[in-house]
Amino acid sequence: MEARDPELKKELDATLHARRELGEEYDAALVDSFLGKIEQRLDGTVDRRMRRHLAEQQMAVARGARTPGSPVDSWSERFGFGVISLILAIPLSAIAVVNADLTGLFVCWAGIFGVNAVHALRGADLGRRRRERSSEWDD
């Protein structure tokens, strides 16, 4: 078995050597000590990765790029959503009229309107919340 971290391997060897010298009554203390060292190492690794990730996100925001997982609120994406919903409205309207006459058509268009309204309001709300958050950091 090849060790990924030679320093950690040395710590494990030292812990095993100490166990042989001290006996089994110190097992719990030795294991706790070794696990503490592993935990410190993991904390350091996670901390470095988080700092790197945050720095990458800040660079992307500074360049004006959308960060992964950021809310969809650009004009082109809202426009695309509206166009697709209108294209889908044609067959949905036909199905609604065939199955429920004029009432079905009204219900169909009310649903289309509702979906588009919710999407538009969601985008506006997310944009407002983003501006409020950024103003909190400016203080």
CA distance 8 to 10: 5
Q: Which of 114, 129, 124 is nearest to 74 (CA)?
A: 124
Q: What pLDDT, in 10s, does the model give residues 74-110?
A: 777 778 888 888 888 888 899 988 998 899 999 999 9
CA distance 33 to 122: 51
At position 118, the amino acid (one-letter code) is: V
Comparing 4-13, 27-36, 116-125, which segment has the lowest mean pLDDT? 116-125
CA distance 133 to 121: 18
**Statement: residue 139 has pLDDT above 50:** no
Residues 6+ apart with CB under 8 A from 119: 78, 81
Average of per-residue pLDDT values in the chain: 80
Full-prediction pTM beyond 0.85?
no
CA distance 11 to 16: 9
Q: How far is CA 50 from each of CA 46, 54, 85, rounded to the nearest angstrom?
A: 6, 6, 39
User: How high is the pLDDT of residue 111?
Assistant: 92
